[in-house]
Amino acid sequence: MLLTVTLPMVNPFMASGLVQACYLAPGAQVVPGTRLLDFKVDLSAALSHDCPPISFHRLALRERAWLRRLLVAPGQDVAAGAVLALLSTDPEESLEGTEHRPARCSIAGILPQPDWWAGGAG
Amino acid sequence: MRLPLRLGQIAPEGVTVRRSGFRWMCADGQLCQAGQIIAFCNIGLRQAHGPGRPLDHFADERRDFQVAIVSRVTGRLRVKSGGSHGGQLDRLEYFLAWNPDFVLAEIEPEGPLPPGLHPGEGPSSGPWHRTLFGAGRRFTEHAEVRVGMLTGWHDRARAWWGDGTRVDGTLLSMGSCEQSALVIGDSPAFLDLMGQVPGAAQVISIPDDLLVPCARVCLEQMQRGPAELAAIEADLFASLPRGHGSRPAADWYFAATLLAGLQRSPITEGTDVLVRGGVQRVAQPDAIMMSLVAEPSRVLRHRRLGYTLSMHSYRLGDCSEPMRQWLRTSFEPVDRDTSDILRDWRELIGTTRQRAPTLFLALNLSSSSASEDFLNYAQFDQPMARTVGSVRSKELNLMLHDLAREPGLAVVDTDAIVAGLGAALHQPDGLHMNGTMQQEVQREILYQLRANGVPGFS
């Protein structure tokens, strides 16, 4: 079974997310709780006000699988709903298979320390 | 039956009051509600004798010193002539004399009159309005925005009821934008909050432009002496980038706003209020409201002078690169855990209460997040409060709960309020509130002030 991870809509106004950190390389086994990546949602352009709506999030897996392809890298701006990664329940499974479903993921709001000097939220 | 809204005496002997024309908030023939602002004007206070110099008391607020007429009666407004002249004559305070006998308007009551008041003559025949003063201290005097009541860029805005012979109690609110919005409310001159205060009270709001009033910053403001200030000023003038930025004026505004914040101490600076008994000095607020929202997980500390700078990091986005570089080289980031913030709050409360028995009100954090759905904490390193926003919020709320067992602190539990109302609708980003939630939190603030016996609010 192939599993896809897409960039979740954490806010109804969100158009994209900026990938800030990737924690895994292809071939890695994931278990519930394994972190995949951090991303930043910046709504300043669409909802500009003095207290800009910028938030930071961590995407983690909630099931056992193998990461087969990571389609994004830090610094990349990704459209909401775009595919971020491909996983499979069998490490040797062909990626050409048609049977797939969304991977079970979880989202956490994280503190934006690494971005402080760049003028992010906080 | 028509009840006259007579301006009444607002200044003591020896003081002349000049005023602008009134700007109407309720039109002739409209039904106005009890507690509604009917009209407001700018006023100026001058010495009655000699050359008529402005009073020293309100020198730094003289351009945004206003008075509002708040109806005590629900009824149909009948405007009298001569109260308003339109244009700039209704904005500039020196064209007209404040005549205490002048009848601004009349009200044809609809519904019961306030208890204890009767139409006719005598001490029970009014006044039919309350007098609400507003005063704004501008960040810079050329920030001229006289479009409404307490409009403009103020480093301190305040309002108080001036009907009595004194103001009994003062609430000082220092916080970031969501707290300022909460106190200022949706009506002019803090009326959402002030309208629920029957007593003689003053409310002061200090914004977060540019310093964010966390406990450490407020404490240092209280303790900073002239020598330290001079050193900060000298360092700032010597270190500021010159001529390298594409927007030097914006950088100078940034630096000037920063310096202005470092120079003042809202807790200790005191305020003057105008009441029927004269000008009263309020040395220190009776209650101070702050918020955990204003406690960042990271502050900046000046590498050489040691003072703390707390500001929203998004402000950096408006700075030029040379200014950001100056901040990077002059300051070091200092990460703060719950224990550091606890120490700062305890020290601030203790230092403040050595001067007077001030009550601190603390707004806690909304600790749930609509965008979170994680079930497994294994993905986070310890201590988790350094990474996960909701865990940090819960830890800080618990800290506040423990601290409230000590004297001088009461918690305004916004976390419980939003949990009861529903975060998605009432505080969708966990920070900014809608009107319903603002009203609920305002009610809780007033409840805490009353329950803790803060004068003026009881």
Across the A:B interface, residue pairs with CB atoms under 8 Å apart total 102
Task: Find the residue in A nearest to B334 (Cα).
Answer: A113
> Is-contact B228 B136, C-beta < 8 A?
no
In degrees to the nearest 10, what's the CA dihedral of B398, B400, B401, B405?
140
Choose between A117 and B79: higher pLDDT: B79
**CA B11 to each of CA A41, B127, B325: distance values in angstroms, whole numbers, following the listed order:** 54, 16, 51
Residue A24, chain B, CB below 8 Å: the answer is no
Whether the predicted pLDDT of A122 surpasses 70: no
Residue A56 lies in a domain: yes
Q: Which residue has the higher pLDDT, B142 or B230?
A: B230
Determine the average pLDDT of the residues in B285-289.
98
Token pair 């459209």: residue: A79
pLDDT band at A115 (very low <50, low <70, confident <90, very high): low
pLDDT of residue B379: 78
Report yes or no: A33 at the B interface, CB cutoff 8 Å. yes
* Of residues B296, B314, B318, nearest to A54 (C-beta): B314
Nearest CA-CA distance, residue A5 and chain B, Å: 15
In a domain, A66, yes or no: yes
Residue type for position B93: E
Does any domain span residue A71?
Answer: yes
CB contact under 8 A, B372 and A119: no
Residue A119 placed within a domain: no
CATH number of domain containing A15: 2.40.50.100
- Residues B419, B425, B430, B436, CA torsion sign: negative
Average pLDDT, chain B: 91
Q: Would you call A97 an interface residue with chain B, using a CB distance cutoff of 8 Å?
A: no
Q: What are the residues whose beta carbons fall under 8 Å from the beta carbon of A28, sequence distance 6 or more?
A: A34, A66, A67
Is residue B419 within 8 Å of B368, Cβ to Cβ?
yes
Helix spans in B171-292 (H)? 177-184, 191-194, 215-223, 226-239, 248-263
Q: Which residues pair with B98 in a beta bridge?
A: none
CB contact B332 to A (< 8 Å): no
Does residue B383 have a cis bond before it (omega within 30 degrees)?
yes
B248-286: pLDDT as tens digits: 788 888 889 999 999 999 999 999 999 987 899 999 999
- How does DSSP assign B2-71, residue by residue? -EEEE----S-TTEEEEE---EESS-TT-EE-TT-EEEEEEEEEEESSTT-PBPSTTGGGGGGEEEEEEE
Distance of alpha carbon B176 from alpha carbon A119, whole angstroms: 17
The edge-to-edge listing of strands for the beta sheet with A35-42 is A77-79, A16-22, A35-42, A54-61, A105-110
Residue A31 belongs to a domain:
yes
Distance in angstroms (rounded) separating the CA atoms of residues B342 and B400: 8
A10 and chain B in contact, CB less than 8 A: yes
- Rounded distance, CA B366 to CA B221, Å? 28
The CB density around residue B439, as the number of other CB atoms within 10 Å, is 17
Q: Which of residues 36-55 of A touch B (CB under 8 A)?
A: 50-55
Confidence of residue B381 (pLDDT cuts 50, 70, 90): confident
Which residue in chain B is spatially nearest to A9 when comparing CA positions? Answer: B371
What are residue B136's DSSP bridge partners?
Answer: B157
The separation between the first and the last C-alpha atoms of chain A, rounded to the nearest angstrom, is 40
Instruction: Measure the CA angle with vertex B361, ends B359 and B367; round to 5°.
Output: 155
Q: Is residue A121 part of a domain?
A: no
Predicted pLDDT at B112? 86
Sort out which chain A residues have CB atoms less than 8 A from B375's CB and list them.
Answer: 32, 62, 106
Q: What domain range includes position A75?
A: 2-112
Please count the structural domains in chain A. Answer: 1
The torsion of the CA quartet B439, B440, B445, B448, rounded to 10 degrees, works out to 150
**pLDDT tens, residue by residue, A59-114:** 999 999 999 999 999 999 999 999 999 999 999 988 887 778 999 999 998 886 64
A58 within some domain: yes
**The complex's ipTM?**
0.79
Quick check: B432 and A51 CB within 8 A?
Answer: yes
DSSP state string for B331-369: EEEEE--HHHHHHHHHHHHHHHHHHS-PEEEEE------
Q: Which two tokens stand for residue B256?
A: 């000037």
- Out of A34, A50, A116, the one facing B333 most closely (by C-beta) is A116
